[in-house]
Amino acid sequence: MSLPEIISRIATAEKAAGRNIGSTQLLAVSKVQPNERVLNVLGQGHRIFGENKVQESQGKWPMFRESFPDAIVHLIGPLQTNKVKQAVQLFDAIHTLDRLKLANKLAAEIQLQGKSPDIFIQINTGEEEQKAGAIPSNADQFISDCLALDLPIKGLMVIPPINEEPSLHFALLRKIALRNGLTGLSMGMSSDFESAIALGATHIRIGSAIFGARDYS
């Protein structure tokens, strides 16, 4: 698929859901992709990207930003507390706040650097052991703890379990966000973004459908 095709499918899904065209932000997930593919998408005018590793991003985004200073990069992968300083320097948004220790570190670093990246709290709606995120029964408490730290919390993020109907998880994420007064919903990937848009996604994260398959070799 191509970028224009994805953009047109997003618009169709927004229209079908009775939403405004352009109300969903598309994060082009550029992790692991060769630089020329990323530059190609930048060259087509796209400006919002998702990355899942701090170190990998440090190796390429300062360089891309020399030619494209208005590029916006969101961290969508796990964040270790010892990388918080670099993450706050580099990213415009962080989607993976999942524990109090990280929340405290982020709050301190954001103050220190005088920056204000949009923060999303990751929710483990499937309660999967190997997956990061607050479980639904702890979500309200964790969200209020994060808000009490004055963090710029924009919304919630989910990665649904692989073998379950994603829309159930999107609906649960939306419900948790609504009852906590949060409007951002980071949900939906290459295979399920249309149902995420139907359920109110504000940020969808699409990699392979834009760039082609990732080559980890």
Q: Which residues bind ligand PLP (CB under 6 A)?
A: 29, 31, 52, 76-77, 159, 189-190, 205-209
Element (H, E) at 175: helix 166-179
Q: Which is nearer to ligand PLP, 140 or 168 (CB)?
A: 168
Min dist CB 80 to ligand PLP, Å, is: 16
Min dist CB 190 to ligand PLP, Å, is: 3
Question: Tokens 């109110």 belong to which residue?
Answer: 200
Min dist CB 52 to ligand PLP, Å, is: 4
Min dist CB 204 to ligand PLP, Å, is: 9
Helix (H, G, I), strand (E, B) or coil at 203: strand
Task: In the chain, count H helices and then E strands.
Answer: 10, 8
Calpha distance 24→21 (Å, rounded) = 8
- In contact, 10 and 36? CB cutoff 8 Å: no
Q: Which is nearer to ligand PLP, 200 or 207 (CB)?
A: 207
What's the half-sphere exposure (Cβ side, CA atoms, 13 Å) at 104? 3
Q: Which is nearer to ligand PLP, 176 or 204 (CB)?
A: 204
Q: Which is nearer to ligand PLP, 52 or 84 (CB)?
A: 52
Q: Which is nearer to ligand PLP, 197 or 206 (CB)?
A: 206
Residues in the chain: 217
Min dist CB 111 to ligand PLP, Å, is: 27
Calpha distance 59→55 (Å, rounded) = 6
